[in-house]
Each structure stands twice: as C-alpha cells, then as structure tokens.
Amino acid sequence: MTSTNPAGVLPVAGRAPARRGLQSHGRATPWLFLAPYLLIFGGFVALPVVLGLWMSLHRWDYTLPRKPFVGLENYTDLLDPGSTTFGPFWQAMQATGVFMALSVPLLLVVPLLVAMLMNGRFPGRNFFRAVYFAPYVLGVAVVAVLWRYLLDTNIGLVNYYLELLGLPGDTAWLTSTIPAWTSLVGVTVWWTLGLNAVIYLAALQDIPADLYESARMDGANAWQQFWAVTLPGLRPVLMFVMINTIIASANMFGQSFLMTQGGPGRETRTAIYLIAEEGLRNFQMGSAAAMSYVLTVALVLLSVIVFWLFRERKEKES
C-alpha cells in the first residue's frame, strides 16, 4: 500500500523527504530571534561588567588626561587600614550589613503573613490585594520624599499623631541613629512587601488543596499544616524571594540618599551610596569600580550559601 502526503502527492522513489528546521530555514534564523536580547544583554550587562573590571585596574579619574594602569592597587587599598578608602568603605559595608540584617527577615515574614491572609476567602479580597501592592508601583523618589516630610521632627504627621496618643512626639526619626534605621527599614518594608506578597500568593495557590485535607484528616492543627504542607510547598519560591531580597537590600541607596543623606554622620551611608559618591562626586571611578566588585563577590557568596542551605534540606528529605 502506497502512502500519500496530505496534499495527495506521491513521494518520489529513492528521494528522502525534504527536511524542515535549520537546514530549510537557515542557520541564521535562531540568531536573528536572539539578536534583540543579545544586543540588550551585551550593551547593558556584559559590556559594563568588562568595562568596570578594566576601570578598577586603572586610576580612572575624569580630571586626569590619562588613566594610568595601577593593577590591583584599588583592591589592596580597600584592605589596607592606612589607605583613605579603607575606613569609609568598611563602614559603608557595615551599614549595608545592618540594613540587610534588619530588613531581610521582615521582608520574608511580613509578606508571607500578608499572602496567607490574602489567600483566604473574604469580601473585598481583591481590593486588599491591590492596597498592599500599590506602594510598590511608586518610585523611590516619591516614597522617600513623602516619608521625609511625614517623619520630619517638627512638621511631620508621625510625631503629631504620636503626641496625640500620649507618646513622645519629638523623636528625631531621620537624624538619630536608631530612629533613622527604624525609619529606613520601616519605609522599605512598607514600600516593597507587596512584590514578595504577590510571589508568595502565587505559590500558595499552587499547593494542592488535597494536601491540606489529608493533613486535617490526620488531625493536624493550623501550625502543623503550615509546617508540614505550606512551608515545604513554598521552599523553591522562598529561596528565590530570599536571594532577591538580599540583593535588593544590599543595593539600598535612594532611601538613604533622600531621607537621611547618609546621616547621622555616616551611619546610614550604605555601600552603594559610597560607590556612587566616590565615582560620581569624587570622580574616582577606578576605586568605585573596585568597591563594586568586592560588594559583588560578597553577594555571590551569600547567594551560594542560600542555595546550599536550601539544597541541603531537600537532600535530607529525599
């Protein structure tokens, strides 16, 4: 029995059917589809990475006619207590660490609680979802300027209402160390918790309801259901949220720059703040690039630790 193709044409004996794919469409076709992405990735990611590494090996000062090659001097200066960049850089790294230690746990737990609340069924659920996510669509300049006025010691509404409640109404929210950190962390959590809450909410809705029903039939209470069903179901998403939040917290700049100007003193001047100041105000782009790469290495190590912690728990369970 002779088979025909859908067009009713008999195949020619001894001749292989025409092959489709790369040979028929050309080898350049996949690259043409990838070209827009490759151009953007090369121009905004790969090229700055290479250029930044090149600049970190030079005394890259805009005011100098030439940019002399200095090798690893910009990096060794960051490790030399006698250099002018050692103290400010590690103080800024310490400020970055303080901000991360205070903000990351809150940005992991509070959005999870909000997502679990929004995952329930109650009237107005979509409205409250929008309310929690709304601050995230605002720009950092809007958020920082808004809260700068709200937290002002003399004319801010926060101190005004605290005084009406009988609480101290003269707190220097932006010019004292502990209140300044409280303000920066609180504003950041208020501003960005909506993003993590949406990610958590999507993951919660992917957990099969049968697992909760089986847990309830086994007599599990709410906490046991969370520990045995919800938390394992959220583990991949939790790892993503944790890494994303760590990187975002390490890159905190706008809040500090616009709300506290790095003060009081230099207490809230983060690493990104110092890098921007060193490169764009002092024109020491080589030193700023070296600081950026040290911060990048620290974030890579933190990310590897997070990956290792989550993978270890998964292996134990298997």
Q: Are 198 and 168 in contact (CB under 8 A)?
A: no
Please state, as a whole number, how many other Cβ atoms lie within 10 Å of the Cβ of residue 250: 21
pLDDT at 318 over 70: no
Domains, the chain? 93-269 (1.10.3720.10)
Query: What percent of the chain is modeled with pLDDT above 70?
Result: 90
Alpha-carbon distances of 4 from 15, 18, 20, 160, rounded to whole Å = 14, 14, 18, 86
pLDDT, residue 126, reads: 84
∠ CA 41-304-94, rounded to 5°: 95
pLDDT, residue 23, reads: 61
- Per residue in 171-196, pLDDT (tens digit) is 899 999 999 999 999 999 999 999 99
pLDDT at 246 over 70: yes
Q: Give the closest residue to 187 by CA, choosing from 198, 174, 197.
A: 174
CA distance 275 to 290: 9
pLDDT, residue 20, reads: 57
Q: How confident is the model at residue 255 (pLDDT cuts 50, 70, 90)?
A: very high
Q: End-to-end alpha-carbon separation of the chain, Å?
A: 54
Q: Point out the least confidently predicted range of 22-31, 94-103, 108-117, 290-299.
A: 22-31
- Per residue in 209-228, pLDDT (tens digit) is 999 999 999 888 989 999 99
pLDDT, residue 22, reads: 57
CA distance 295 to 290: 9
Burial class (CB in 10 A: 0-12, 13-18, 19+), 303: middle
pLDDT, residue 17, reads: 55
Q: How confident is the model at residue 60 (pLDDT cuts 50, 70, 90)?
A: confident
The model's pTM is: 0.84
Mean pLDDT, the chain, integer: 88
pLDDT, residue 3, reads: 46
pLDDT, residue 128, reads: 85
pLDDT, residue 65, reads: 78
Q: How confident is the model at residue 1 (pLDDT cuts 50, 70, 90)?
A: very low
pLDDT, residue 7, reads: 46
**Mean pLDDT confidence for 54-77:** 89
> 3-class secondary structure for 131-173?
HHHHHHHCCHHHHHHHHHHHCCCCCCHHHHHHHHCCCCCCCCC
Place of tokens 């706008």: 254
pLDDT, residue 253, reads: 93
Place of tokens 């969370």: 226
pLDDT, residue 15, reads: 55
Q: Are 230 and 297 in contact (CB under 8 A)?
A: no
pLDDT at 127 over 90: no
**Mean pLDDT confidence for 194-211:** 92
Q: Are 56 and 70 in contact (CB under 8 A)?
A: no
- Per residue in 6-50, pLDDT (tens digit) is 444 445 555 555 555 556 667 788 889 999 999 999 999 999 999
pLDDT at 113 over 90: yes
- Per residue in 230-242, pLDDT (tens digit) is 998 998 899 999 9
pLDDT at 299 over 70: yes
pLDDT at 314 over 90: no
